[in-house]
Homo-oligomer: A and B are copies of this chain.
């Protein structure tokens, strides 16, 4: 690990700002849609994973299965996601975002992408390609990290 301090410091600084903005952004967006933050988080989780069961949500957010079931039920009733029976295990449910849910997440993401587009205008084309390359490196590293688990 050569020069870990500068790397870490820079990454930290970036993280601080970036996370601050993201969380505030999602919070406001959730409020504007009438959904609570936990509900929105479930939709995001589902967007990320594609599909999951009640117990997955329970684990991810560290809440009881009962709480997960109740939250999901509201989202199902509001038509944001579908809850189907798992053919392989008839006790389990398979949750998937339906169109309304997908569009909601897309809209939320777009709002925050706007900030990134603004960011893009503040840097030159040359810098932009450097940043792109760097982020690709990071994305690849993340994949490696996730695979190992």
Contact = CB atoms under 8 A, between A and B. Distances in A.
A62 B31 contact: yes
A4 to B, nearest CB: 6
A13 B135 CA distance: 9
B135 A10 contact: yes
Nearest to A44: B20
Indicate the size class of the contact surface on chain A. Answer: 35 or more
A1 B62 CA distance: 43
Given A119-B142, A122-B145, A123-B141, A128 B3 contact: yes
Interface of A: 1-4, 6-8, 10-20, 22-24, 26-28, 31, 37, 41, 44-45, 48, 60-62, 109, 112-113, 116-123, 125, 127-142, 144-145
9 contacts: A1-B120, A3-B132, A7-B128, A7-B131, A22-B23, A24-B60, A31-B62, A119-B138, A133-B134
